Amino acid sequence: MDTQISPEGRLEVLSKAEVVKLLDTSHSGLHQLFRSCSLAVLNCGSGLDDGKELLERYKDFEISIIQRERGIKLDVKAAPASAFVDGVMIKGIQEHLFTVLRDILFIHGEIEENPKYDLTSTEGVSDAVFHILRNANLLRPQVSPNLVVCWGGHSISGTEYDYTKQVGYHLGLRGMDICTGCGPGAMKGPMKGATIGHAKQRIRHGRYLGITEPGIIAAEAPNPIVNDLVILPDIEKRLEAFVRIGHAIVVFPGGAGTAEEILYVLGILLHPENADMPFPLIFTGPESAVDYFKQIDQFIGQTLGAEAQQRYQIIVNDPGKVAQVVQDGIKKVREFRKTKGDAYYFNWLLKIDTEFQKPFDPTHENMRNLELHKNQENHLLAANLRRAFSGVVAGNVKDQGIRAIEKHGHFEISGDSVMMEAMDALLTSFVAQNRMKLPGKVYTPCYRVIK
C-alpha cells in the first residue's frame, strides 16, 4: 500500500543536509539502511525471520522524505498491507518508523561522524551508548530500579510462549517494566503478560522497551506492544545497552541468539572488577524446558566452568518465584548503586572489556580464526564464544550473513576438541528442537563445527 505520514511530535523537521543523506543511494549514503530498517518495522507480525527474503519479497518498497517549509512527511510506497487498518497505517508502526529515522540520523551525524566519541576506547563506546539511549528518551532519572530485561528465542513453542506471558504478568503485578529485543516469541510474551499485570495494578504508564540493531531488525521486527524503541548501530552496542540500563535479566529458552546473549552477560560478570556487583540473572522456562536448561548449564560448565555457573539461577515452571527472585535481586541492586553513588538509570560502574565492544564482522575468515581455547582469561573466552554464536545468528537470519553463506559455503568453527564437542552438541540440540527458525520452516545449518 502507498501512503504519506507526518511525525506527530516526533522529529518534525530535518536539515537539508540530513535529507540529502537519507536520499543518497550511493554506498556512503543512508538510504539503503533507512529503507531496510523501515521495511522491517512495517513488516511487524508477518512471521518472516529472514532479512534477505524480506528485501526480495518487497523489491518495490520505497520510502522517501518530503521536505516542506512547515515540516517533513514520509512518502511510503508498496508497503506491506499488514501495517494498515482500513487503509490507515497503524499508529504504533507509524511511531516506530519515525524512531528509525531519528536513530539513524543521530547515530550517523552525532556519533559516528563526531570526533568527540572515541569508538576505539571502552569509555568512548559506553559514552556513545549512553547518548544514543538518552536521545531516545530511554533514561529516566528519579525512578527507582524496576527494569527487567527479558531474553529468549523468537522461535519457541506455544507452551514456552505462554510461560513467558505468565512471568511477564507476575513481573507486571510487582510494578516491573519490561525490556526485550522487541521481536516475537520470548521477546513479545513478557510484554504481553506485563500489560495485564500493569492493568490490574492500575499502572497506566508501563514501559515496554525494545532494543534492536539494523542487522537483526528484519528477523525480529518490533512487536506491537513496544512503546519505546531504539536502534543501536551494531550488536555489541545493543548488548551493552541491555546490561547498562537493565536491573535484572530473565532468560527464556532460545537458540543461537540467546546463547550469544548469555555468553555476553556471563563474560562481563566474570570480569574481576564486576565480582562483587549484584546483577540478578535467572534462566527459566516451563517443565518442558528442563532438558534445554540442562544443556545450557552443561555447556557453560564445560567451557567457562563453575565460576560462571554460580552467576545465574535456574528456576523451572514457577513464574511467581521468578518475579519474587527478580524483585529481591533488584532491591540489592538499588542498595549497591545507592551506596556507590551510581545512577539507577545507567550502570556506569559495570566494567565492560573492550573485547565485548569491538564490532565483530562474521566473515568466513574471522569465524575460522576465533580463539576458542581455555588458554586465556575466562571472560575473554566468553567474548570469543559469543562471537561464534553471533556468526551463526548472522548466517541464519541477517541479509549479509545469508548471502555470504550462499557465496562461500558454511562457516567453519574450530578450537579445543572438548569445547567443540560441547558447542556442536548444543547447536545440534537447537536444530533438533526447531530453535533456529520460526515454526514450519526447514532449517539448513550455516556452520560446520570442526572437532
d(CA 191, CA 284): 16
Nearest to 345 by CA among 355, 333, 360, 361: 333
pLDDT of residue 18: 79
pLDDT digits (tens, 9 = 90+) for 321-351: 999 999 999 999 999 999 999 999 999 999 9
Say if pTM beats, i.e. exceeds, 0.85.
Answer: yes
State residue 314 phi and psi, 5-degree precision: -100, 125
Strand-pair partners of 147: 177
Q: Which amino acid is it at 277?
A: M
Q: What are phi and psi of 411, to 5 degrees?
A: -65, 145
Query: What are 57-73's pLDDT values in tens digits?
Result: 889 999 988 887 667 88
- The amino acid that residue 313 corresponds to is Q
Structure confidence by residue, pLDDT tens digits, 106-118 = 999 889 888 889 9
Distance separating alpha carbons of residues 140 and 134, to the nearest angstrom: 9
Per-residue pLDDT, 27: 65
Compute the radius of gyration of the chain from its Cα atoms.
21
pLDDT at 326: 98
Query: What's the CA gap between 54 and 33, in Å, rounded?
Result: 14
Domains and CATH numbers, the chain: 3-114 (3.30.1850.10), 140-340 (3.40.50.450), 360-450 (no CATH)
Q: What is the pLDDT of residues 1-20, one digit of tens each?
A: 999 998 765 666 677 777 77
C-alpha cell of 403? Answer: 548471502
Q: Of 51 and 401, which is predicted with more confidence? A: 401
Which residues sit opposite 88 in a β-bridge? 85
The angle, 0 to 180 degrees and rounded to 10, between the axes of the packed helices 378-397 and 399-408 is 80
pLDDT, the chain, mean: 91
According to the model, what pLDDT value does residue 46 have?
64
Residue linked to cell 527479558: 150
Nearest to 261 by CA among 387, 446, 424, 78: 387
End-to-end CA distance of the chain: 51
